[in-house]
Every structure is written in C-alpha cells, then in structure tokens.
Amino acid sequence: MPNLDRSFDIVGAINSDRGEEIKRTVRELDGVNKVQIDFHENKVIVGYTPGIVNVQMIKEAIERLGVDVSDQGDD
C-alpha cells in the first residue's frame, strides 16, 4: 500500500520542545515513516502507511500530549 502524507493543523503555537515531543510520540506509532513540524504554519506533517495507522490514531496521539488539533479538513 502506498504511503500518504497528511497535514494536521495545530491550534496555537508550537515551540521547539513541544515539536520534538510531538515528533517522538507520533514516530512511535506503527506505520508512521515521517514526521515534520512546520513552526510557521503550526502544522504537523505525517507520512504514514494506511491500513497500519490511520488519521484518527495520529490525531489522538498528538492530542494526548495536550495539543489541540483542528478538526478542519478531517477525513
């Protein structure tokens, strides 16, 4: 199955410490192969393999850190 990229809009600003925490947490999910933080746009860009991990699982992992993810554009 092909890898997909998905952007998650974060509510509020992300500092570098929080960005690293998000990266570590999301990378731990099976099926995630890339995590990038766009500090200027307050986005988390995740490359993942559908069928192993899904958008909701990634979103929940970020939100468990106390980071709000916008529902705009959800699948």
Q: Which residue from 67, 12, 9, 75 is spatially nearest to 43, judged by alpha carbons?
A: 9
Cα separation, 33 vs 40, in Å, equals 22
Going along 10-62, which residue ranges are E strands?
A: 32-38, 43-48
Amino acid symbol at 8:
F
User: How high is the pLDDT of residue 74?
Assistant: 47
Span 14-53, pLDDT tens digits? 999 999 999 999 999 999 999 999 999 999 999 999 999 9
Architecture of domain 4-63: 2-Layer Sandwich (3.30)
User: How high is the pLDDT of residue 71?
Assistant: 80
**What are the sequence ranges of the domains in the chain?**
4-63
- Alpha-carbon Rg for the chain in angstroms: 11
Task: Tell me the whole-structure pTM to 2 decimals.
Answer: 0.90
